[in-house]
Amino acid sequence: MVDLVPKNAGKFESSGLGDALLIGVVKTIEERALINVIGNGTIKSGIIKGVGGAVISGMIGGKAGKIVGSAFAIDAIEDVVNGALGASSGASPATNENAW
């Protein structure tokens, strides 16, 4: 049976500045690619990116999977925090969308 969400999905791994740079590049690309599909800076987009990142990380595997998974997880956490902070005003500070 295929394990879509690996047991270590919540772990972030970086073995140096090169990995951190790759995580930043992947985060920027996936954020821009998904902004028109699922939005950005909302709780909903954060949940979708978190789940999607865990699944994609498990499918890719290895170091590349860890880098992609970390990028999605960091972006997901950023979206949830932005959505939660903007929830009191009903809008996300990043996109001026409804927090959900």
How confident is the model over 63-73, as pLDDT tens digits?
899 899 999 99
**Spans of the chain, pLDDT less than 70:** 1-14, 87-100
pLDDT of residue 13: 62
Distances (CA, A) of 20 to 5, 8, 23, 44, 83: 22, 18, 5, 26, 25
d(CA 57, CA 55) in angstroms, rounded, equals 5
The helix/strand/coil state of 7 is: coil
The answer, as to whether pTM is greater than 0.85, is no
d(CA 52, CA 65) in angstroms, rounded, equals 12
> DSSP code of 10?
T
pLDDT of residue 50: 92
